[in-house]
């Protein structure tokens, strides 16, 4: 008995010494390599010198929406990938692409391998309108359309028909709505020198769309876009902008809202100026802002069954439901807009995975400052070691920089939990982290794309782009992307 005790004691002592000498790293896995994931990884690496961070992404290409969401004609917004690249190349960080949470590896397995798992995989689905006719051909979500023109491999086969109609209706007036309107209406010569996907450019060059409606349920005082984007769309060369002056009348409730909100005030001013300043020229492309209209149903074409031919919209009035908050209520007055294409830009939605608590109403993971909660009730408990960041945490709003603050909050929750012992310490329970992940993925024949591999894709895209006076020519299919990773000398390593 005594011998055993001595043995145990010696084992304990040597483990403690080795822990002091080779401090057991804190093993962190970040799921998603967009802004939320990269900022989180960066802050974790900085906050804990012993942290080892692995970033996984289901795509072979990193950077999330910076690559697949930001519009091709907004290259300055993409400069942040330089910073994110430095994070991925940090000596204590690794990027593993082509690894999908839920199929390559389960959440439960990930939590076994890592002390801290941060889910930052954003929102890859859409809110639906839930109205009749929504499944007619020609009705797309803005997200799919954006994936398509940004060369996302899952958007390659969208094949939108831009030749059978001259009118597109967009529901929503946020920045994504402005993006898709702009891509539809901008002269393609201007798009030809961006990193827009070639298949999209070719389709747009043959597009017959000349009129785009941007339809919002509420008024110009509530429009969700931001000034820079609005200013840009209003400044497009040869684009006729139409805004009804009657829509610009403000109620006292509107005035109150605007008084306290700089962003909305400036948007309203921009819209007012645009309503009065533009002379109409025939033959120009048109962008028509429609306010106080909500979609009622979609109309089916008589000539082309199964295809949308118009949208029935209902006039709305605003009703106050709380301080500074008004919602749109139908008035029973209807009208139709003829169109052959509809884009729904009413919000993205996150997708839950097995084992992940989810708030289906809000479309996010229930959390307390980034700490995942077991459910949405008042008696929820913390899910140890599980955190969220980005759209999965806050909902699908904000810009790249919004994730900076979001990541700060989540990381400070993690650090607090480590200090308070709420989160099991790495020395108490060592986990296999990267080694365990690689072994598991190897056993499942998952073809991991490393950051080096991405750099091969990157240089190939830039090389192809230089042949066409574009910053890059995106490889837009899974096959092309994975093939590009196998070029080069370290092919044999896999």
| Sign of the C-alpha dihedral computed for residues 48, 54, 58 and 61 taken in this order | positive
Identify which of residues 90 and 112 has a Cβ nearer to other proteins in the complex. 90
Pick the stretch among 70-78, 245-253, 287-295, 388-396 that binds other proteins (CB under 8 A): 70-78
**Tokens representing 100?**
């999908």
Closest C-alpha to 151, from 454, 475, 490, 441 = 475
Q: Is 217 annotated as a binding residue?
A: yes
263 part of the interface to other proteins, by CB under 8 A: yes
**Tokens representing 491?**
């092919």
Q: Is 480 annotated as a binding residue?
A: no
Q: Is 190 annotated as a binding residue?
A: no
Burial class from Cβ neighbours inside 10 Å (0-12, 13-18, 19+) for residue 192 reads middle
Pick the stretch among 221-229, 242-250, 290-298, 420-428 that binds other proteins (CB under 8 A): 221-229
Identify which of residues 79 and 467 has a Cβ nearer to other proteins in the complex. 79
Q: Is 173 annotated as a binding residue?
A: yes
77 part of the interface to other proteins, by CB under 8 A: yes
Q: Is 71 annotated as a binding residue?
A: no
Pick the stretch among 24-32, 111-119, 274-282, 393-401 that binds other proteins (CB under 8 A): 393-401
Q: Please pick, from the candidates 80, 214, 233, 448, the single residue that binds other proteins as defined by CB under 8 A.
A: 80
Q: φ and ψ at 143, to 5 degrees?
A: -60, -45
266 part of the interface to other proteins, by CB under 8 A: yes
Pick the stretch among 76-84, 140-148, 298-306, 441-449 that binds other proteins (CB under 8 A): 76-84
Identify which of residues 101 and 400 has a Cβ nearer to other proteins in the complex. 400
Strands 367-368 and 51-57: unpaired
From the CB of 273, what's the least distance to other proteins, in Å? 11
Length of the chain: 494
**Tokens representing 386?**
């599980």
The span from the CA of 214 to the CA of 322, in Å, is 27
Q: Please pick, from the candidates 399, 419, 444, 463, the single residue that binds other proteins as defined by CB under 8 A.
A: 399
The span from the CA of 186 to the CA of 69, in Å, is 18
Biggest alpha carbon–alpha carbon distance for the chain: 98
| Sign of the C-alpha dihedral computed for residues 92, 95, 101 and 105 taken in this order | negative
404 part of the interface to other proteins, by CB under 8 A: yes
Contact 373, 395 (CB under 8 A): no
Burial class from Cβ neighbours inside 10 Å (0-12, 13-18, 19+) for residue 239 reads buried
Applying CB under 8 A, the site for other proteins has a residue count of: 19
Closest C-alpha to 342, from 200, 133, 69 = 133
Q: Is 409 annotated as a binding residue?
A: no
Binding mask 83-102 for other proteins (x = CB under 8 A): x-------------------
452 part of the interface to other proteins, by CB under 8 A: no
From the CB of 461, what's the least distance to other proteins, in Å? 21
Identify which of residues 71 and 211 has a Cβ nearer to other proteins in the complex. 71
Q: Is 229 annotated as a binding residue?
A: yes
Q: Is 218 annotated as a binding residue?
A: yes
Identify which of residues 134 and 232 has a Cβ nearer to other proteins in the complex. 232
47 part of the interface to other proteins, by CB under 8 A: no
The span from the CA of 101 to the CA of 392, in Å, is 14
Q: Is 142 annotated as a binding residue?
A: no
Q: Please pick, from the candidates 92, 112, 231, 278, the single residue that binds other proteins as defined by CB under 8 A.
A: 231
Q: Is 391 annotated as a binding residue?
A: yes
The span from the CA of 233 to the CA of 459, in Å, is 32
227 part of the interface to other proteins, by CB under 8 A: yes
Closest C-alpha to 211, from 148, 266, 257, 166 = 166
Contact 63, 87 (CB under 8 A): no
Q: How many CB atoms lie within 10 A of CB 440?
A: 17
Pick the stretch among 13-21, 207-215, 224-232, 383-391 that binds other proteins (CB under 8 A): 224-232
Contact 99, 107 (CB under 8 A): no
Q: Is 372 annotated as a binding residue?
A: no
CA torsion 46-403-481-437 (nearest 10°) is 50
Q: Please pick, from the candidates 106, 193, 226, 432, the single residue that binds other proteins as defined by CB under 8 A.
A: 226
The binding site for other proteins (CB under 8 A) comprises 74, 76-77, 79-80, 82-83, 226-228, 231, 262-263, 266, 399-401, 404-405
Annotated binding site for NADP(+): 173-176, 217-218, 229, 398
Annotated binding site for FAD: 36, 65, 101, 391
């Amino acid at each position: 008995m005594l011998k055993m005790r001595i043995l145990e004691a010696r084992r304990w002592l040597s483990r403690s010494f080795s822990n002091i000498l080779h401090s057991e790293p804190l093993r962190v896995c970040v799921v998603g390599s967009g802004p939320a994931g990269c900022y989180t990884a960066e802050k974790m690496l900085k906050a804990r010198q012993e942290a080892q961070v692995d970033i996984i992404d289901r795509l072979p290409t990193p950077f999330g929406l910076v690559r697949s969401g930001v519009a091709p004609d907004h290259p300055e917004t993409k400069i942040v990938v330089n910073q994110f690249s430095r994070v991925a190349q940090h000596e204590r960080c690794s990027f593993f692409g082509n690894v999908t949470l839920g199929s390559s590896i389960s959440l439960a397995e990930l939590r076994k391998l890592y002390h801290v798992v941060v889910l930052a995989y954003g929102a890859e689905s859409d809110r639906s309108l839930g109205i009749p006719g929504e499944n007619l051909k020609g009705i797309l979500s803005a997200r799919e359309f954006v994936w398509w023109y940004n060369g996302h491999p899952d958007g390659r086969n969208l094949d939108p028909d831009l030749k059978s109609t001259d009118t597109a209706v967009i529901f929503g007036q946020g920045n994504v709505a402005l993006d898709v309107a702009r891509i539809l209406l901008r002269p393609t010569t201007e798009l030809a020198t961006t990193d827009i996907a070639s298949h999209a450019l070719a389709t747009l060059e043959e597009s017959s769309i000349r009129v785009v409606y941007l339809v919002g349920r509420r008024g110009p005082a509530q429009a969700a876009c931001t000034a820079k984007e609005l200013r840009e769309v209003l400044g497009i060369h040869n684009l006729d902008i139409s805004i009804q002056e009657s829509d610009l009348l403000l109620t006292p409730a509107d005035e109150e809202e605007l008084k306290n909100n700089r962003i909305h005030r400036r948007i309203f001013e921009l819209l007012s100026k645009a309503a009065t300043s533009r002379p109409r020229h025939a033959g120009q492309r048109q962008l028509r802002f429609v306010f106080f209209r909500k979609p009622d149903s979609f109309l089916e074409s008589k000539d082309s069954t199964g295809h949308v031919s118009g949208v029935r919209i209902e006039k709305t009035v605003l009703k106050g439901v709380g301080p500074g908050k008004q919602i749109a209520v139908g008035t029973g007055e209807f009208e139709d807009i003829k169109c052959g294409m509809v884009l729904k830009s009413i919000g993205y939605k996150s997708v839950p995975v097995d084992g992940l608590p989810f708030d289906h109403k809000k479309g996010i993971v229930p959390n307390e400052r980034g700490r995942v909660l077991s459910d949405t009730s008042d008696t929820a408990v913390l899910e140890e070691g599980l955190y969220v960041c980005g759209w999965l945490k806050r909902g699908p709003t904000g810009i790249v920089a919004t994730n900076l603050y979001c990541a700060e909050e989540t990381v400070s929750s993690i650090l607090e939990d480590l200090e308070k012992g709420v989160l099991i310490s790495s020395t108490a329970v060592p986990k296999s982290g990267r080694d365990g992940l690689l072994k598991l993925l190897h056993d499942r024949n998952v073809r991991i794309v490393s950051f080096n591999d991405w750099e091969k894709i990157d240089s190939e895209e830039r090389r192809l782009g230089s042949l066409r006076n574009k910053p890059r020519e995106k490889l837009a299919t899974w096959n092309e992307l994975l093939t590009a990773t196998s070029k080069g000398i370290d092919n044999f390593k896999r």
